[in-house]
Amino acid sequence: MTAAVRYDDVEVGTELPTASLPIARVDLVRYAGASGDFNTIHWNQRFAESVGLPNVIAHGMLTMAAAARVITDWAGDPGAVVEYGVRFTRPVVVPDDGTGATLQVSAAVGAKLPERRVRVDVTVTSAGDKVLSMARAVVQLG
């Protein structure tokens, strides 16, 4: 469970390839089924609005999972992600307009740690707003 990326080849500030990830209503339905999280705010606009949200919002865990792909694609082995945490700061609003939302994900090496590990800092925005903060992973490099 070690990444293809070598520890000696990265430095603080090394940027990972970015990703632009669309999220439509159907993706929320699929994630609800796969994860078992059927919270009504993720699929029912009438209910979402009744609790003060602008519209249906994505599962925070779907955003977290989608953002992880930037790290796992870079590392080459998802098993190299030994730690991953986020703070959910803003909801990702997913309107039923045939387009939905788009997550812009970027990441960079924030620190080199002992034992050939690095901390990767991830930035995720939707509609120009940062939707996660303190999004960080620890990755075991080769």
Partner 1 sequence: MPLDPAFIGRRYAPSRVYEVGREKIREFASAIGDESEVYRDPAAAQALGHPDVIAPPTFAIVISSEVGRQVVFDPELGLDYGRVVHGEQRFVHHRPIRAGDRLCGVLVVENIRAAAGNDILTTRVDVSTEDGELVTTAYSTLVARAAERS
Q: Could you list the residues that contact partner 1 (CB under 8 A)?
A: 1-2, 21, 27, 30-31, 33-37, 51, 60-62, 64-66, 68-69, 71-73, 76-79, 81-88, 134, 137
Least separation, in Å, of the C-beta of 23 and partner 1? 8
List of residues 6+ apart from 124 with CB closer than 8 A: 63, 67, 103, 104, 105, 130, 131, 132, 135
Closest CA to 1 of 72, 64, 70: 72
Which residue type does 97 have?
D
Rounded Cα–Cα distance for residues 113 and 7 (Å): 10
Nearer to partner 1, 56 or 81 (CB): 81
Least separation, in Å, of the C-beta of 11 and partner 1? 24
Least separation, in Å, of the C-beta of 68 and partner 1? 5
Nearer to partner 1, 10 or 60 (CB): 60
Rounded Cα–Cα distance for residues 42 and 35 (Å): 12
Least separation, in Å, of the C-beta of 72 and partner 1? 7
Nearer to partner 1, 11 or 62 (CB): 62
3-state class (DSSP) for residue 108: strand
Phi, psi of 70 (to 5 degrees): -60, -35
Rounded Cα–Cα distance for residues 30 and 6 (Å): 35
Nearer to partner 1, 49 or 83 (CB): 83
Least separation, in Å, of the C-beta of 97 and partner 1? 19
Nearer to partner 1, 53 or 108 (CB): 53
